[in-house]
Amino acid sequence: MIVSSIVILFATHFQSAGQAAQRPPEPAVVTPAPLYRDPVFDGAADPVLVWNPNRKAWWMLYTQRRANLDLPGVAWCHGSEIGVAESKDHGMSWHYVGQLPLSHPDTGYSFWAPDIVKDDHGVFHIFVSYVPGAGDKHVDWDGDRYIFRYTSRDLWNWKFEQRLPTGSDHCIDPSLCRMENGKWRVWYKDEAARSATYALESDDLATWKKIPDPSVSKLYGEGPKVFHFKDSYWLIKDPDSGLDVYRSPNLDHWTYQGKILEVPGKRSDDASIGKHADVVVCRDRAFIIYFTHPNGQDYPEKNGKMQLAAKRSSIQAAELKVENGKLTCDRNKPFQINLTPSK
């Protein structure tokens, strides 16, 4: 019995050692959580990342919600500019640059939820949601919403080009993706059509035509994001219950895959559902950049106004995987972000 026990002990020891050897090591440097907080209003939301070749840095553009102002209703979500943060260490740390100087036709306005692409001539195109009217007076989710397009060579000086012909005065949250045939497609949320997700298509980013229902409009959601990763196209959008995931072989026919980021995380400022996100694909890795309301929003109003604890938001990052044909995200797993510019 003693000999058998020794044999079992040694076998167990070597089996455990073998399993430990096969377990991938945790990264020496772990991506911080939160990744970024807006130092002005503490309301960073709806991030999108782009490589700035002039600065040799990554830029994060985001909706700069005015969370720390004492405003009625949802006025703190209006009157917003597009904030800019910069990283020169592959996304590990970010510092505030300022507000993007976009021209606007009204004295009062809000800019929300940008997306950026670069064309074959090296010109950047920003597509951004625009809400006319003084922000302080938008105490409800009212008013028109448009999608504007601007162009730039340096990501800072922008020229207004057009309002996209979406067919409705209540469209927000553009997301661009280039198709294999060279055409461009933009997905967006139409709040005049049950908040369905629709799309336009263009040869040159200037002339647009509506395409048939892109088959992702049945489930409510905002902030669609389309990207290519691991031999498939993916579309994620935010129904305020985590992020819905769709998969497609061709950008036309989509299959619903379930949710990610629907379970609150354990990291600092990550204990709530993930919201409106960007995805950056770097070779064989993909990073999702999303925002949270760290304390949730179930706080009683104080003097008829939301408390800061319910309004403030943080930007977080996690790594995406494809496992058994499904997009997955373990937001609690330590990882080292490594943003690399596309060739």
The residue assigned the tokens 């219950």 is 241
Domains in the chain (CATH in brackets) are 35-329 (2.115.10.20)
**Sequential pLDDT tens for the chain (343 residues):** 444 443 333 344 434 444 445 666 777 899 999 999 999 999 999 999 999 999 999 999 999 999 999 999 999 999 999 999 999 999 999 999 999 999 999 999 999 999 999 999 999 999 999 999 999 999 999 999 999 999 999 999 999 999 999 989 999 999 999 999 999 999 999 999 989 999 999 999 999 999 987 788 778 899 999 999 999 999 999 999 999 999 999 999 999 999 999 999 999 999 999 999 999 999 999 999 999 999 987 777 887 789 999 999 999 999 999 999 999 999 999 999 999 997 6
Q: How many residues does the chain have?
A: 343
Helix (H) or strand (E) holding 21: helix 2-22
Q: Within 13 Å, how many C-alpha atoms sit on residue 136's CB side?
A: 4
What strands, in cross-sheet order, belong to the sheet with 275-282?
275-282, 285-292, 314-323, 326-329
